[in-house]
C-alpha cells in the first residue's frame, strides 16, 4: 500500500502517517518524488482498507499494491483447479456445457429438457427451484418440490444437477439434492451465505454481481475458499451498463483476465448476459473462443410458456445445432467440447 501525500504536506503530517502505519503493524518507507512524497507500507496489507489512511491530514490518497485476495490466486496455486462432479471434469481440457430451464416447472418439462440437452452433449443439468425475482408478484419457483423433481430427473438420466441457493439456512437442504450449489448474481456479496457454502462439501458456482468488479468477485470467492471449500467455479454473466438493447453487457475480457490471476475454472452464462435467445449462439461461440472453461445455457422446450426468462431460453433444437459449433470452436483453439 502506498500513501500519496499532498504536495504541501508538512513533516509533522508525514510523521503522523508513519506512526499510524507502525500502529497497523507495518513499516513505513518514504520515497521523495519531484513534487510529491509517497510513504510505502512494508508488511501484510491484505486486511487493511486503502482508505483507512486517507483521513489523516496531509494525505491526498492511498493506493493498494498487494492484491487483496490470496487463496484464489495463481501465486498460491499456479496450476488450474480441476473440479470433479460425478465423473465430469470441470476446468480441464474439455469445455463443459451446463444446460436446462431457468425454472423447474414440472417433472415433464424438466425430464423432456434433460433428455434433449443430454443427447446434444450437455454434461450438467441446470434448473431453478428457488428463484430471486425483481417483483414480488412474479413466479418465485417451486421450492423443495422443485428440488425433488431435479432428484428424480437426475436418477433417470444420470445428469448431475446445479441449482441456486438463496439463504444460509437453506444450504443443507439444497446441498442434499444438488451436485453444485449456485450463488446468484444478487447474492455475490451475501457474506453470511458465502460463509455457509464455504463449509459445504459441494462445489459452488459463484456468479458475478451486476456491478461487481473482477477484484470483488475474486474476493467473494476468497470467502468460500477461506471457509475451507476450494471447489469454486467463477461465472461471468454480464454486468450492468448504460446499454439497454441487451439485458446486461457480457464482459468477455473477464475470461482471460480471470484465467491470468486465478486458478479457478471460469464459465460464461450467455443467456443472462444477453437476455435474448437470438444472441445466445453467437455469444456462446465467443465465450469458448475467449478461453472459457464452460457455459451455462438456458434451454426450454417451449420458451413462450416458460414461467421465467423465456425470452432468453433457446429451444432444444437450437441447442442441438449449437453444440457442434461449440466443438468446432473449441478445436480451433486447441481444446475439446
Residue 281's nearest CA partner among 222, 218, 326 is 326
Q: How far apart are CA 223 and CA 45, in angstroms?
A: 17
* Per-residue CA distances from 133 to 162, 247, 292 (Å): 19, 15, 28
Stretch that binds a second copy, among 87-95, 112-120, 151-159, 218-226 (CB under 8 A): 218-226
Other Cβ atoms within 10 Å of 85 Cβ, number:
19
278-317 positions binding a second copy, by CB under 8 A: 278-279, 282-283, 285-291, 303-304, 306, 308-313
For position 13 contacting a second copy by CB under 8 A, the verdict is no
Q: How far apart are CA 110 and CA 103, in angstroms?
A: 9
Stretch that binds a second copy, among 103-111, 116-124, 146-154, 234-242 (CB under 8 A): 234-242
Shortest Å, Cβ 199 to a second copy: 13
92-151 positions binding a second copy, by CB under 8 A: 132-140
CA angle 231, 214, 295 (to 5 degrees): 55
Q: Which residue in the set 110, 255, 299, 323 belongs to the binding site for a second copy (CB under 8 A)?
A: 255
Shortest Å, Cβ 134 to a second copy: 5
The continuous run of DSSP H or E covering 156 comes out as helix 144-157
For position 200 contacting a second copy by CB under 8 A, the verdict is no
Q: Which residue in the set 172, 211, 228, 336 belongs to the binding site for a second copy (CB under 8 A)?
A: 211
Q: Which residue in the set 223, 234, 271, 293 belongs to the binding site for a second copy (CB under 8 A)?
A: 223
Residue 74's nearest CA partner among 212, 335, 256, 334 is 256
Other Cβ atoms within 10 Å of 147 Cβ, number:
22
Beta strand 59-63 with 83-85: parallel, antiparallel or unpaired? unpaired
30-69 positions binding a second copy, by CB under 8 A: 31-36, 38, 40-44, 46-47, 49, 51-56, 63, 65-66, 68-69
Q: Which residue in the set 156, 169, 176, 317 belongs to the binding site for a second copy (CB under 8 A)?
A: 169
Amino acid at each position: 500500500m502506498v500513501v500519496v501525500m499532498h504536495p504541501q504536506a508538512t513533516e509533522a503530517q508525514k510523521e503522523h502517517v508513519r506512526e499510524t502505519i507502525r500502529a497497523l503493524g507495518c513499516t513505513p518507507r518514504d520515497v521523495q518524488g519531484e513534487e510529491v512524497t509517497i510513504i510505502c507500507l512494508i508488511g501484510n496489507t491484505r486486511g487493511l482498507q486503502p482508505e483507512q489512511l486517507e483521513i489523516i491530514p496531509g494525505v491526498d490518497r492511498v493506493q493498494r499494491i498487494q492484491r487483496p485476495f490470496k487463496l484464489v490466486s495463481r501465486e498460491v496455486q499456479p496450476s488450474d483447479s480441476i473440479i470433479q462432479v460425478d465423473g465430469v471434469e470441470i476446468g480441464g481440457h474439455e469445455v463443459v456445457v451446463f444446460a436446462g430451464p431457468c425454472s423447474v416447472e414440472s417433472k415433464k418439462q424438466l425430464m423432456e429438457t434433460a433428455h434433449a440437452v443430454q443427447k446434444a452433449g450437455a454434461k450438467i443439468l441446470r434448473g431453478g427451484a428457488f428463484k430471486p425475482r425483481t417483483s414480488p408478484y412474479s413466479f418465485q419457483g417451486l421450492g423443495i418440490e422443485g428440488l425433488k423433481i431435479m432428484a428424480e430427473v437426475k436418477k433417470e438420466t444420470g445428469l448431475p444437477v446445479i441449482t441456486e441457493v438463496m439463504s444460509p439456512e437453506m444450504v443443507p437442504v439444497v446441498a442434499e439434492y444438488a451436485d453444485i450449489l449456485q450463488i446468484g448474481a444478487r447474492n455475490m456479496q451475501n457474506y453470511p451465505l458465502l460463509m455457509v457454502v464455504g463449509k459445504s462439501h459441494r462445489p459452488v458456482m459463484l456468479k458475478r454481481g451486476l456491478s461487481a468488479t473482477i477484484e470483488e468477485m475474486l474476493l467473494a470467492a476468497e470467502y468460500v475458499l477461506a471457509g475451507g471449500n476450494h471447489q469454486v467455479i467463477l461465472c461471468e454473466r454480464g454486468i450492468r451498463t448504460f446499454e439497454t438493447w441487451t439485458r446486461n453487457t457480457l464482459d468477455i475480457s473477464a475470461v482471460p483476465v480471470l484465467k491470468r490471476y486465478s486458478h479457478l475454472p471460469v464459465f460464461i452464462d450467455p443467456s443472462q448476459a444477453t437476455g435474448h435467445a437470438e444472441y445466445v449462439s453467437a455469444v456462446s461461440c465467443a465465450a469458448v473462443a475467449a478461453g472459457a472453461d464452460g457455459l451455462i445455457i438456458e434451454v426450454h422446450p417451449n420458451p413462450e410458456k416458460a414461467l421465467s426468462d423465456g425470452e432468453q431460453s433457446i429451444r432444444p433444437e437450437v441447442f442441438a445445432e449449437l453444440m457442434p459449433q461449440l466443438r468446432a470452436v473449441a478445436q480451433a483453439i486447441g481444446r475439446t467440447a
